[in-house]
């Protein structure tokens, strides 16, 4: 399997990484077989976390680490924000993983500036990470986040992280455009290795594995960590990666225009709807809608399984507060639309922009934060 350099670490990692979350779904025996198959096929990046099943994923990875530890770059995470808690977490992970060191330890799911300030401040988790590195318990320090990348951008500007783990897929590029526009260039500038996750957008793109992996790996990332719960799924992704060729700009544009998941509701942020006679920045509002719920509540009627998946995933990253605060700062909000229709024929993707503006305004100002069925 082709390998890429992980930032400035000096380590090469296979393009396809094995993410440990879905090991929760299978037996110890099947997990061991899956991991061994991955190694046998040339994979060398394994990533897990204590929060995956309260240590269950780490324990299953450890069953293989005790025999094949030197064949991979082993990554796990800590969700604790204080130094004492992080120290305990690191030691517990080492025991479950049956190893004396972790190659890449990632600050897990850092979403708010308050969290980041705590982590980087006196008595914060970073102190425990640095001490663990000095003692040889870990080699590299990373950070991960989901959705709006403002915190990760700030983190890379305040500390020299060895790696950053981010959501990368062709669906969420239109919900969190700052990932590709700002965060990835910054990571490259800093020499920070980029670890991708959620190539299939948490399952929304399950019917398009080849397009999804090709798109993600065309970007300048080191590795895409994917979750598997069957060997067949692993073999499928290995086939895609081993025959990888970068996606051309034309292929991307064709996919953006024609993929059914994007359909005629997701804004592609092409700006061709502008200028609006009322001065509404239409793409900006749709970006905040993407932050809010990944543009997944589209007022369309979906079949029950699809609706259940979309409804489960719309707040998966929970960036609602950031979206609403950002929208409060918009001078010309969506309700300033007079339904003149000037923008409609200019949209190359067939969006009903007038209806979508109304839906976005509803979400960002009035929608209840949670629905509890009786």
Q: Is 301 exposed, middle or buried (0-12, 13-18, 19+ CB in 10 A)?
A: exposed
The dihedral formed by the CA atoms of 238, 199, 151 and 89, expressed in degrees to the nearest 10: -50
pLDDT for the residue numbered 367: 81
Residue limits of CATH 3.20.20.100 in the chain: 3-253
pLDDT digits (tens, 9 = 90+) for 314-355: 999 999 999 999 999 999 999 999 999 999 999 999 999 999
Helix axes 282-293, 353-365, angle to 10 degrees: 50
Task: Please provide the CATH number assigned to the domain covering 3-253.
Answer: 3.20.20.100
Could you tell me the CA-to-CA distances from 140 to 4, 64, 73, 162, 216 in Å, in that order? 17, 21, 10, 6, 23
The pLDDT tens digits along the chain (374 residues) read: 999 999 999 999 999 999 999 999 999 999 999 999 999 999 999 999 999 999 999 999 999 998 999 999 999 999 999 999 999 999 999 999 999 999 999 999 999 999 999 999 999 999 999 999 999 999 999 999 999 999 999 999 999 999 999 999 999 999 999 999 999 999 999 999 999 999 999 999 999 999 999 999 999 999 999 999 999 999 999 999 999 999 999 999 999 999 999 999 999 999 999 999 999 999 999 999 999 999 999 999 999 999 999 999 999 999 999 999 999 999 999 999 999 999 999 999 999 999 999 999 999 999 865 544 44
pLDDT for the residue numbered 374: 46
pLDDT for the residue numbered 322: 97
Tokens representing 55 are: 């240590």
Of the candidates 39, 37, 58, 36, which has an alpha carbon nearest to the alpha carbon of residue 47?
A: 58
Q: pTM, whole model, 2 decimals?
A: 0.95
Between CA 248 and CA 20 the distance in angstroms is 31
């Amino acid at each position: 399997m082709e390998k890429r350099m992980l930032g400035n670490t000096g380590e090469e990692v296979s393009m396809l990484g094995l993410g440990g979350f879905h090991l929760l779904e299978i037996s110890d025996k099947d997990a061991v077989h899956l991991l061994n198959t991955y190694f046998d096929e040339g994979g060398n990046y394994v990533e897990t976390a204590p929060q995956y099943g309260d240590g269950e994923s780490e324990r299953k990875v450890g069953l293989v680490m005790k025999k094949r530890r030197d064949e991979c770059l082993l990554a796990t995470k800590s969700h604790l924000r204080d130094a004492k808690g992080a120290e305990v977490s690191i030691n517990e992970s080492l025991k479950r993983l049956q190893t004396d060191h972790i190659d890449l330890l990632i600050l897990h799911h850092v979403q708010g500036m308050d969290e980041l300030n705590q982590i980087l401040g006196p008595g914060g988790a970073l102190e425990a990470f640095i001490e663990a590195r000095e003692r040889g318990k870990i080699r590299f320090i990373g950070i991960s986040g989901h959705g709006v990348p403002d915190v990760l951008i700030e983190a890379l500007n305040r500390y020299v992280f060895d790696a950053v783990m981010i959501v990368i897929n062709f669906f969420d590029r239109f919900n969190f455009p700052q990932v590709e526009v700002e965060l990835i260039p910054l990571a490259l500038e800093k020499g920070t290795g980029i670890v991708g996750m959620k190539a299939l957008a948490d399952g929304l793109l399950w019917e398009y594995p080849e397009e999804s992996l090709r798109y993600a790996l065309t970007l300048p990332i080191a590795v895409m960590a994917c979750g598997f719960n069957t060997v067949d799924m692993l073999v499928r992704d290995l086939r895609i990666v081993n025959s990888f060729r970068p996606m051309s700009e034309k292929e991307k544009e064709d996919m953006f225009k024609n993929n059914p998941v994007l359909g005629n509701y997701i804004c592609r942020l092409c700006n061709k709807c502008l200028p609006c006679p009322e001065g509404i920045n239409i793409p900006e509002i749709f970006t905040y809608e993407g932050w809010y719920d990944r543009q997944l509540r589209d007022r369309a009627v979906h079949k029950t399984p699809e609706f259940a998946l979309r409804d489960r995933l719309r707040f998966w990253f929970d960036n609602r507060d950031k979206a609403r605060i950002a929208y409060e700062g918009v001078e010309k909000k969506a309700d300033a639309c007079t339904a003149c229709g000037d923008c409609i024929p200019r949209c190359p993707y067939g969006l009903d922009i007038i209806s979508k503006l109304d839906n976005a305004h509803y979400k960002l100002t009035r929608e209840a934060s949670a629905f509890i069925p009786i």
